[in-house]
Structures are given as C-alpha cells and as structure tokens.
C-alpha cells in the first residue's frame, strides 16, 4: 500500500495488519508524519507535533507485535492518535488556545490521555480549538485559522475542529474530542467523520467542569467501528471524576441489522430552519434505513426556541460562561473578540435567566423528547441546520453569511445543543452526504438515555448501505 494511502487506514484495519505483521507501526507512523508535513500548512490542525517521540513509541509498539521482551500488544497498540489540546498532558502546555493562559503547564494527564496511552495509542500531535473551546468554528489569536480539508474556504467546525480536520486530512487515525454544546458532532458533520457524544458520566473528565452535565469527552474517527473501539477504551469510572459511571459499559463489536427497528425522523427539532440540502441529505439517509428494513416514521417535536434559549442561557452563564468571564476580568486585552463577546453575553444572561429557570426549561424539553421517542428505538435529525460557514468567520452578526448570502440565524445554525440539554442521551454523528459547497453534511442518531449500543447499531447499518469515501478529499490535498 502506498504511504500516501496509509493515513486513511482505519484503526481497526491497521491493528489487523499489525497483528499479521503485514504492516509495522513504524511504517504507519512515518506515513502519517509525512502526510502531516505535506498538508498541515494548508489545514493547520496541529498545535504541537510530537513526531520524534511518536516514532520512538512506534518502535516499542513494533517490539510488542514481534513478541520481544515478553510484552504483548494492547488494544490500540501503535495507532496514531491526535489529542485535543484541552486534554491535559503532564508537563506540556495547557492553554486552550488563549493568550491569557500562555505558559500554563499541565500537572497531570486528563483521563482520556491516560486511557489512550494505557491502551498503546501513540499521541503524535495535539489539535487546535477555538479559545476556551467556546465556538462552533476553530480559530484563535494563538493558533490562527484551521481549515476544512474538503474545502479550505470553510471551517471544520468547532470546538474539536483540529481533531476533525486531522482525521479528514489523513494525519491521524483516531482523535480525542469533547462536547458541551456540539463540539464533537459539529466538526464531525462538516468533515465527514464520525463523532460520539456519550451520555453524561460515561467517559470521565478532569477538573471542575466534569460537574457540568452538558459536557463530556469522547472519540472521533473515520468509521463507526473505529469509534466503537476508541469508546471502549475511554469509558468507565475514574476516581478523579465523581460523575463517572460504574460499571464500565463495553460496546458490542457485532450488531444485528436494523430490520424491524422503529426509528423516528425529525428534520426541524421544533423551530429550526433547515437548509434544503441538509434536509435532502437527512431524508435520503432515513430512506436508506427504511430500504434496509427499518420502520422510519416522521415526527414533530414541540420544542420552542424560547425554551431552548432559556435552558442554554441559564446553564452556560452559570457554569461555563462564568469560567470564561474570570479570564476577561484580568486579561481582556489578550482574548479573541469572540471570547470577549461570549463572556459579556454570559454576564448579561446571568442577570436575566436564573439557573432554576434553565432547569425548568430543561425539564420541559426532556419530557417532550421522551414523549416523542416513546415507541421508537432511536431518533434521526440533522447535526447542523446549514452545510457550513466560512473559515475565520466569528459569526458575529445575526445571520450566517456564506458566499454573500444570508443562510441561517447564527444562534440556530447548529442543532446539537438540544442533546446536551437531554444530556443522558447518546448521540452519534455520521455523514449524511455532500453539499454544493463542497463540504459534507451530518446526521445525528439519538438514543434513549444510556442506550449507547442502539446508536452504534444504526450507525453501522448506515455505513453499510451508504458507504463514505475519503478519495475526493485525499485527491484535493495531494
């Protein structure tokens, strides 16, 4: 296999090749590094390159596959993994893309990092985010603009935009992500990758925000099987995170087909204005499941923008927004304009919406979803309301403007926050198609609370009936 193709191997296939001694971890790592050096100047997905250390670790992985020193391969042995910069690595920078935190050094590994390393994964690079991971795009004063490999005029989304861009560009096989309002699913949608928002507590986190029931760390990859393999490494309790769930859930690797499953389709999630191309791709994906034997029924949800905004405003202003506001008190001049704007909006929101107000709205939204999903195994809906937006755009106006045309209300261009509000629901993003803007669109597969295997069953079925290819993006970056 040519080295230019090795970056697009799936992790599961790479592990099979390692085991058969048909591919060396060193050979794979060299190919990934070679590709990164070629495409990174155009994509800018990495904040830090750990290539020398990664090659040394790949040599140790090779020894394990050869049975040297009495060691055996671990579950992710030798797989190149890109880590989101906000996932702390002991002794390395922990800036979250903010000049206000320049020079900060991590004092311990985040649980996601420990689990990657303990499983034999090799972290060869760290990936970009917007400042404090607060945006649905990825650029900052510290790291510049990260571009979408499919179409560099567009963003890969955020906040896990660097992780998603790396996967789509063939410069990693797995990538870590996090999600507090769509930070895994939005970039997965825009880059044609697969991302999983685990139910709250499924994967352990680090620090005070582990108590925020909207957020959680999770896996990204290019296939559903790879996400399953990665998620099985990340899940399980950790004493540093009181909310982490015991016992560990191990996802099956073999699933029945979707014949007879009852699946709900909801295109607008209440009041979202969905771009026609996103809607068409969503419906085509739902039809593919119906053709595969599932019973697909379109439903409506009574969700209102008012309840969604109340839940989001009260929650974010009380917790996440307050964290960012602390930075503006002493380092306002160092922050990106969108970070300052976010902090100011959250400060205002705290005077208008109480946390109790937000909990009441959350409760209504959660009950309405439970009622709508009763009798169904899963729910399908778009991941974003529009196919994308331009790289470097702060989305500072009331409207998302693409190619000079107003295409959506800025606040409602992503359709992910409702499932952070419904935070115990597992949600898997898979590709739903391509848009005329030359960027992919995504589909959310939503399960009942803590019924993770169901979303992977549906995701695997979709991957089989609507296979996704990276040949186009590979050619564009060649």
Q: What does the block give as tokens for 443?
A: 């589909």
Domain boundaries, the chain: 3-477
Residue 341 to residue 344: CA distance in whole angstroms: 5
Residue 236 to residue 233: CA distance in whole angstroms: 8
**Cβ-count burial 348-366 (b if 16+ within 10 Å, e if not):** ebbeebeeeebeebbebbb
| Cβ-based neighbour number of residue 105 at 10 Å | 12
| Cβ-based neighbour number of residue 458 at 10 Å | 28
Residue 296 to residue 264: CA distance in whole angstroms: 6
Among 24, 34, 5, which residue's Cα sits nearest to residue 66?
24
- Which one from 98, 100, 172, 183 is the annotated catalytic residue? 183
pLDDT in tens, 377-404: 999 999 999 999 999 999 999 999 998 9
158 CB-contact burial (10 Å; exposed 0-12 / middle 13-18 / buried 19+):
buried
- Which one from 24, 84, 133, 172 is the annotated catalytic residue? 84
Among 206, 185, 221, 198, which residue's Cα sits nearest to residue 15?
221
0.95 cut: is pTM over it? yes
Residue 177 to residue 158: CA distance in whole angstroms: 10
Residue 316 clears pLDDT 90, i.e. is over it: yes
Is 159 a known active-site residue?
yes
SS3 sequence of 208-219: HHHHCCCCEEEE
CA distances from 320 to 44, 202, 211, 346, 477 (A): 27, 20, 11, 9, 37
- Which one from 133, 159, 244, 435 is the annotated catalytic residue? 159
Residue 121 to residue 35: CA distance in whole angstroms: 19
CA distances from 273 to 19, 57, 269, 382 (A): 49, 48, 9, 11
Residue 3 clears pLDDT 70, i.e. is over it: no
pLDDT in tens, 120-173: 999 999 999 999 999 999 999 999 999 999 999 999 999 999 999 999 999 999
Which of helix, strand or coil describes residue 124? strand
* Residue whose tokens read 């909006």: 345
Those residues whose C-beta lies under 8 Å from the C-beta of residue 435, and which sit 6 or more positions away, are: 275, 277, 278, 281, 387, 388, 441
Residue 45 to residue 22: CA distance in whole angstroms: 30
* Residue whose tokens read 């002493």: 330
Is 183 a known active-site residue?
yes
pLDDT in tens, 414-442: 999 999 999 999 999 999 999 999 999 99
Question: Is the separation of the CB atoms in 43 and 169 below 8 Å?
Answer: yes
Binning pLDDT at 50, 70 and 90, where does residue 39 land? very high
Among 185, 188, 208, 211, which residue's Cα sits nearest to residue 198?
185
Question: Is the separation of the CB atoms in 108 and 145 below 8 Å?
Answer: no
- pLDDT average, residue stretch 288-313: 98
Higher-pLDDT residue of 275 and 326 is 275
Q: State the fold for domain 3-477.
A: Amidase signature (AS) enzymes (3.90.1300)
SS3 sequence of 234-247: HCCCECCECCCCCC
Length of the chain: 478
pLDDT in tens, 90-119: 999 999 999 999 999 999 999 999 999 999
Residue 230 clears pLDDT 60, i.e. is over it: yes
Is 336 a known active-site residue?
no
């Amino acid at each position: 296999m040519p080295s230019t193709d090795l970056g697009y191997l799936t992790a599961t296939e790479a592990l099979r090749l390692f085991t058969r001694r048909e591919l060396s971890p060193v050979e794979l790592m060299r190919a990934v590094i070679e590709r990164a050096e070629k495409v990174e100047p155009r994509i800018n997905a990495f904040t830090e390159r750990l290539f020398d250390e990664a090659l040394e670790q790949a040599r140790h992985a090779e020894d394990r596959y050869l049975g040297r020193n009495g060691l055996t391969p671990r579950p992710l042995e030798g797989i190149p993994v890109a880590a989101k910069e906000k996932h702390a690595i002991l002794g390395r920078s922990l800036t979250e893309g903010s000049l206000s935190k320049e020079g900060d050094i991590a004092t311990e590994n985040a649980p996601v990092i420990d689990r990657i390393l303990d499983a034999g994964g090799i972290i060869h690079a760290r990936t970009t985010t917007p400042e404090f991971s607060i945006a649905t795009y990825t650029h900052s004063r510290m790291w510049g603009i990260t571009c979408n490999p499919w179409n560099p005029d567009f963003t890969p989304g955020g906040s896990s935009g660097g992780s998603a861009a790396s996967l789509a560009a063939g410069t990693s096989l797995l990538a870590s992500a996090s999600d507090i309002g769509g930070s895994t699913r939005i970039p997965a949608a825009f880059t044609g990758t697969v991302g999983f928002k685990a139910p709250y507590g499924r994967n352990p986190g680090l620090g005070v925000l582990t108590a925020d029931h909207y957020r959680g760390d999770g896996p990204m990859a290019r296939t559903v099987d790879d996400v399953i393999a990665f998620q099985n490494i990340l899940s399980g309790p950790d004493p540093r995170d009181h909310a982490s769930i015991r016992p560990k859930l191990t996802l099956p690797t073999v699933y029945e087909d979707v014949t007879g499953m009852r699946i709900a389709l909801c295109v607008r999630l209440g009041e979202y204005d969905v771009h026609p191309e996103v809607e068409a791709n969503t419906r085509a994906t739902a039809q593919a499941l119906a053709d595969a034997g599932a019973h697909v029924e379109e439903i409506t949800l009574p969700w209102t923008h008012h309840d969604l905004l109340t839940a989001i405003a009260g929650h974010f202003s009380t917790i996440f927004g307050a964290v960012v506001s602390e930075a503006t008190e002493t380092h306002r001049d160092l922050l990106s304009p969108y970070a300052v704007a976010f902090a100011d909006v959250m400060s205002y929101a705290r005077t208008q919406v109480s946390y109790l107000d937000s909990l009441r709205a959350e409760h209504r939204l959660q009950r309405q979803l439970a009622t709508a999903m009763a009798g169904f195994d899963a729910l399908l809906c778009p991941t974003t309301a529009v196919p994308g937006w331009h790289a470097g755009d702060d989305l500072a106006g009331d409207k998302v403007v693409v190619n000079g045309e107003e295409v959506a209300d800025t606040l409602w261009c992503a359709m992910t926050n409702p499932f952070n509000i419904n935070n115990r629901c597992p949600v898997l993003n898979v590709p739903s198609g391509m848009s005329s803007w030359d960027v992919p669109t995504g589909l959310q597969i939503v399960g009942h609370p803590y019924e993770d295997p169901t979303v992977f069953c549906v995701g695997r079925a979709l991957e089989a009936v609507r296979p996704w290819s990276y040949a186009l993006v590979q050619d564009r970056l060649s």
